[in-house]
Amino acid sequence: MNPNAHAILIGIDHYADPKLPSLHYAEKDCRDLKTALSAPESGTFPEENITLLTGAEANCQNVRERLTALAVTKRSPEDTVLIYFAGHGFYIPALDQAYLATPDADILQLQKDPSRGLRMDWLRDEIGHRSPARSIILILDACYSSAVMPGSVLETNRYFMIDERYYRAPNGRTAIVACPVEAKLREDRRLENGIFTHYLLKGLRGGAAEPGGAEVSIDSLMAYLRLHLPGFLPPPGRFGNEFERIVLTRPRSAAPTPPLSLEAVGDAGVAASFRPLDNPVAPFEPFIDHLIHHISSADAEADYEKVLLEGICRASQAQFALLLRRGEGQRWAARAINSSALGQASLSAYSEKILPLVATVLQQHELFSTAHTGLCSTPAPEGAHPLHTAIIPLRREDPGEILVVAGLPEHPALLNDVYAEILKAVYVSSYDLSTLNAEIIEAGIYDRLRRQFGFLPLSMYERRFELFTRRLQQMAIYFQPIVFLDEEKPHITRWEALARDPENLRSPKDLFYAA
């Protein structure tokens, strides 16, 4: 045990504010973590050095008082302090403040009196700055309710709870942040714990032990979490650096596994029965080729929205597509409608069937959700709407945009996340274009797929590199002087090289991102 190791564990299941749904395992997470940290055979935190604050005891005033006493007043420069929080977190845009939710939190009242809640900047200033402890480790397992959190905040910065600038300083402060959206993604009844904390506990009990040893450090724990957390959860964020290697547990090492001898047996025909695992993106290469071919063959001065819709229709073999834009009064209006297979009369009849379907979806479903990339319907038994319809959110912030592709053939490969991400990339890549540029749109598709799915087929990497090289050769370099405005003798101190797109003289952000 390390007599200088101290922990404050905070967990809340139930909240007075109806905007904060109840959790099931936040308080149990704290109890289980205390057991793991103080286990006689493996823990490094003495049980008497661990303070548990759960339920009503975790009210805002008590948490502040106990944190101040246990992490600041009673600490010395030899101490390490671990602060763990399991519950809800939220952000109030009007105040530009992030909060950890205590059971007595009242979000409406906080907007009138911001000081009443457990603010993250208070933790930073009053605990992080003031504590004499050599190291402070903050672990947040806080889910964010869409009833409270603006989607734009999560889309732009998933780790908004943390002041990243503070954690860049060499101050011995470290934060580990889990950030599932919605309570249902935080917990799993089969695990009887929060999902993140379940794997945190497994790591502390030995799963994250460093190779060749029996110790779990901050570094080995983070590596374990990033490798083992389920793919539907965003990866945990880590901020800051420790002054020294911090050991959290010392689980007993298991008996060493005897070395295996890898010797070929039998004939080489065994290997021939294996093949690479299927890449979910690979089947979409012909679709992307067809789509880009249509865009590149269009007149550069044509209405790009109609060109894109027609390209999507043809590549998808769909009958109907429209782009909806949210206007004043939260009303949705069609910006462009296209059909590559229907006459005008049939198009009107088709619209009468599809538009009510879209209106129903907007009323009954949270379309702009981080839990999915879009929605799809299947044909009704009596043919109320023919074939399949995909409804894909393109842009949440004003002006909001939705893409509807209807009359899709019976082709399950189209109705998945890859299809939705390709169509989103087409529009996102076109927002800054004054005229259609098929190569920039194609590059945007590959970049988005790589970001969302982590890898691409080799042929797509090769094509992306070809597009990158071609666009790089088109760039112009401008040299801008950096002037020192001295009162007596202003002078140029250096020159700065700036890459610019010759068509609009803007910085080629797509190139910097791809590089």
pLDDT tens string 122-143: 998 899 889 999 999 999 998 7
Q: Of how many residues is the chain composed?
A: 515
Residue 342 burial (10 A CB sphere; 0-12, 13-18, 19+): middle
- Nearest-5° Cα angle at 403, 397 to 405: 165
Predicted TM-score (pTM) of the model is 0.52
pLDDT category of residue 184 using cuts at 50, 70 and 90 = very low
Q: What is the CATH number of domain 5-249?
A: 3.40.50.1460
Chain centroid to CA 212: how far? 33
pLDDT category of residue 71 using cuts at 50, 70 and 90 = very high
Angle between helices 458-474 and 438-453 (to 10 degrees): 130
pLDDT in tens, 1-50: 899 999 999 999 999 999 888 999 999 999 999 999 999 999 999 999 99
Percent of the chain with pLDDT over 70: 82
Instruction: Report which of 513, 501, 461, 6 is spatially closest to residue 246, judged by C-alpha positions.
Output: 6
What's the confidence (pLDDT) of residue 379?
63
Instruction: Report which of 348, 342, 412 is spatially closest to residue 376, judged by C-alpha positions.
Output: 412
Q: Between the CA of residue 196 and those of 53, 235, 237, what are the distances in Å?
A: 19, 10, 12
Please name the residue ranges forming H helices in 317-437. 344-364, 417-430
Which of 28-42, 142-156, 256-270, 474-488 comes out lowest in average pLDDT? 142-156
- The CA distance from 313 to 404, in Å, is 10
- The CA distance from 221 to 304, in Å, is 49
- The CA distance from 385 to 295, in Å, is 29
* Whether pLDDT at 121 is above 90: no
Which of 22-36, 46-60, 254-268 comes out lowest in average pLDDT? 254-268
Ranges 91-95, 100-104, 503-507, most confident: 100-104
What's the confidence (pLDDT) of residue 183?
41
* Whether pLDDT at 291 is above 50: yes
pLDDT in tens, 319-350: 888 888 887 766 778 777 777 666 665 666 66
Beta bridge partners of 483: 492
pLDDT category of residue 147 using cuts at 50, 70 and 90 = very low
Instruction: Report which of 128, 369, 365 is spatially closest to residue 377, judged by C-alpha positions.
Output: 365
* Whether pLDDT at 150 is above 50: no
Name the region of 157 (left: φ>0; alpha: ψ -120 to 50; beta: rest): beta
Instruction: Report which of 32, 44, 64, 42 is spatially closest to residue 3, judged by C-alpha positions.
Output: 44
What's the confidence (pLDDT) of residue 425?
93
pLDDT category of residue 178 using cuts at 50, 70 and 90 = confident
Which of 107-121, 293-307, 382-396 comes out lowest in average pLDDT? 382-396
CB 375 within 8 A of CB 367: yes
What's the confidence (pLDDT) of residue 23?
92
> Which has more confidence, 244 or 43?
43
Please give the CATH architecture assigned to the domain spanning 282-458: 2-Layer Sandwich (3.30)
- The CA distance from 29 to 193, in Å, is 6
> Which has more confidence, 281 or 182?
281
Q: Mean per-residue pLDDT for 220-242?
A: 82
Residue 403 burial (10 A CB sphere; 0-12, 13-18, 19+): buried
Ranges 233-242, 360-369, 386-395, most confident: 386-395
What's the confidence (pLDDT) of residue 416?
86
> 221 CB contacts (<8 Å, ≥6 apart)?
176, 200, 203, 204, 208, 248
Chain centroid to CA 345: how far? 44
Please name the residue ranges forming H helices in 317-343. none
Tokens in use for 50?
Answer: 């661990």
Domain boundaries, the chain: 5-249, 282-458, 476-514
Tokens in use for 358?
Answer: 């879209």
User: Residue 256 phi/psi, 5° resolution?
Assistant: -60, 140
Percent of the chain with pLDDT over 90: 38
Which of 421-425, 476-480, 484-488 comes out lowest in average pLDDT? 484-488
